């Protein structure tokens, strides 16, 4: 069996979908299952090794407070050659890039699986053009053999899809994110500071401005706080100006951090905060913090609510954009070290459910279900 993991996102930037694909690829390799990654190129200097085939071009688009991608294979002959040489048995698409995914599907002779990570219902683009959801369903009915949603909300747009559907959450590498990972030296000094960590693209959807507003309230009450910000984005200057104008102390913009260095920041923090206001399907960044034995605080967007539904961590989610409520959730942990420890212990136990071996088992089982379903449909015809 040979699997092609098809990304509609460029690998030049960090992201949850990229990490998901890499995690699944690594787990397949450990089991002796052949797999390669197909990803669009954004620059001529990209090179991710022999297992990542750069195919097509990714054009970044900023829309409705977030970044999207337009993917095009300008060289169909290269696409034909790749599919002919690789002879994939399964093409596993992760999200759906236009028009590149259609270009691949129309040439595919493999079993076609789609994992949907996006929250289309929260996208302003799809609210303005609901016909795009109809188009997604037509494409799925045309040549997709099975659909995976990383959360229930991902499958709502495919209600009429007649093939197999299943919910399989994102996975996490527990050998990368773990409590004893070497902490970042800059922020691991025992200086009495309580480190609050943000990791994400600095854009409207990720809500950093609300965390800064909450931090301003907390800084007036507590002199031992430090806010560490990992990431870049279109609103970085606006957020930096807010810090200067409001004279906030101990706010550190660390910029882009390589994946290999990220676990050290989680280990060095005391509280992790993700104030994303909408558009989250799951919450892999929450899992990374939980696996690092850190308590998590955030806004109750639909994806985070689903991940923490009925669980202790759900008590630390505030209403989206309610920075005062976010400050209160953070304060519960700031003033109670024992609570931080208890929530860290709870988080690490919860994160074990999302290890890559467990997730890969479910994905492979779903491949078999879809293969059997496809064969039954052929017999009926």
pLDDT at 380: 62
Give ∠ CA 207-211-213 in degrees, rounded to 5: 115
Tell whether the model's pLDDT for residue 49 goes beyond 90. Answer: yes
Binning pLDDT at 50, 70 and 90, where does residue 128 land? low
Q: Please give the share of the chain, as a percent, with pLDDT higher than 90.
A: 71
**212-222, pLDDT tens digit by residue?**
999 999 999 99
Say how many Å lie between the first and final Cα of the chain, rounded: 26
**Coil vs helix vs strand at 209:** helix
Quickly name the fold that domain 2-171+355-380 has. Answer: Rossmann fold (3.40.50)
pLDDT at 64: 47
CA atoms within 13 A on the CB side of 288: 24
pLDDT at 130: 66
HEC readout, 287-348: HHHHHCCCCEEEECCHHHHHHCCCCHHHHHEECCCCHHHHHHHHHHHHCCHHHHHHHHHHHH
Locate the DSSP E strands across 161-313.
Answer: 165-167, 194-199, 225-230, 251-255, 271-274, 296-299
Higher pLDDT, residue 54 or 66: 54
Binning pLDDT at 50, 70 and 90, where does residue 129 land? low
The token pair at 330 is 């953070």
pLDDT at 148: 97
pLDDT at 120: 72
In this structure, the number of other CB atoms found within 10 A of the CB of residue 212 comes to: 22
CA of 16: how far to CAs of 54, 201, 231, 251, 283, in Å? 19, 11, 13, 25, 9
The token pair at 232 is 């870049």
Q: Average pLDDT over the chain, rounded to whole?
A: 91
pLDDT at 358: 96
**93-112, pLDDT tens digit by residue?**
999 888 889 999 999 999 99
CA of 21: how far to CAs of 11, 24, 92, 110, in Å? 10, 5, 10, 19
Tell whether the model's pLDDT for residue 343 goes beyond 50. Answer: yes
**233-254, pLDDT tens digit by residue?**
999 999 999 999 999 999 999 9
Q: For CATH 3.40.50.2000, list the domain ranges present in the chain.
A: 2-171+355-380, 194-353
Could you give the residue ranges of the DSSP H alpha helices within 46-116? 76-86, 100-105
Give the orientation angle of helix 337-351 with respect to helix 284-291, to 10 degrees: 110
pLDDT at 14: 75
The token pair at 340 is 């931080």
Average pLDDT over residues 250-264: 95
The token pair at 167 is 């919910």
Higher pLDDT, residue 43 or 381: 43
**Architecture, CATH, for domain 194-353:** 3-Layer(aba) Sandwich (3.40)
What sign results for the dihedral spanned by CA atoms 190, 194, 198, 202? negative
What is the C-alpha to C-alpha distance for residues 126 and 279, in angstroms, rounded to an integer? 12
By DSSP bridging, strand 194-199 and strand 66-72 are unpaired
Kindly report whether the global pTM for this prediction surpasses the value 0.85.
yes
Closest by alpha carbon to 36, among 81, 6, 70, 67? 6
What is the C-alpha to C-alpha distance for residues 16 and 314, in angstroms, rounded to an integer? 21
Give the orientation angle of helix 236-245 with respect to helix 208-219, to 10 degrees: 20
**Coil vs helix vs strand at 372:** helix
């Amino acid at each position: 069996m040979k699997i092609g993991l098809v990304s509609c996102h460029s690998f030049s930037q960090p992201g949850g979908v990229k990490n998901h694909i890499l995690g699944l690829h690594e787990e397949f390799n450990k089991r002796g299952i052949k797999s390669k990654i197909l990803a669009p190129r954004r620059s001529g200097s990209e090179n991710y090794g022999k297992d990542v085939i750069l195919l097509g071009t990714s054009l970044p688009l900023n829309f409705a407070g977030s970044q999207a991608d337009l993917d095009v294979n300008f060289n169909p002959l290269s696409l034909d050659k790749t599919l002919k040489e690789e002879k994939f048995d399964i093409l596993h698409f992760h999200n759906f890039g236009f028009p590149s995914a259609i270009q691949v599907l129309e040439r595919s002779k493999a079993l076609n699986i789609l994992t949907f990570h996006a929250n289309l219902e929260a996208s302003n683009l799809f609210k303005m053009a609901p016909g795009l959801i109809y188009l997604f369903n037509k494409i799925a009915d045309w040549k997709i053999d099975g659909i995976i949603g990383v959360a229930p909300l991902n499958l709502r747009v495919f209600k009429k899809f007649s093939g197999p559907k299943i919910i399989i959450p994102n996975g996490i590498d527990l050998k990368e994110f773990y409590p004893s990972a070497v902490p970042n030296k800059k922020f691991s000094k025992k200086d009495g500071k309580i480190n609050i960590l943000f990791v994400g693209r600095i854009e409207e959807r990720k809500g950093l401005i609300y965390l800064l507003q909450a931090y301003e309230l907390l800084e007036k009450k507590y002199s031992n706080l430090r806010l560490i910000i990992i990431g870049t984005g279109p609103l970085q200057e606006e957020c930096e100006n807010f810090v200067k104008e409001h004279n906030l102390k101990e706010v550190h913009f660390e910029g882009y951090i390589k994946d290999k260095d990220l676990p050290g920041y989680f280990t060095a923090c005391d509280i992790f905060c993700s104030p994303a206001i909408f558009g989250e399907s799951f919450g892999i960044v929450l899992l990374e913090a939980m696996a690092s034995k850190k308590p998590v605080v955030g806004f109750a967007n639909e994806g985070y609510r689903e991940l923490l539904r009925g669980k202790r961590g759900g008590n630390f989610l505030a209403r989206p954009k309610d920075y005062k409520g976010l400050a209160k959730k953070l304060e519960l942990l700031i003033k109670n070290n024992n609570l931080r420890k208890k929530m860290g212990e709870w988080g690490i136990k919860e994160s074990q459910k999302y290890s890559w071996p467990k997730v890969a088992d479910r994905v492979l089982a779903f491949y078999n279900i879809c293969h059997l379903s496809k064969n039954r449909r052929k017999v009926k015809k």
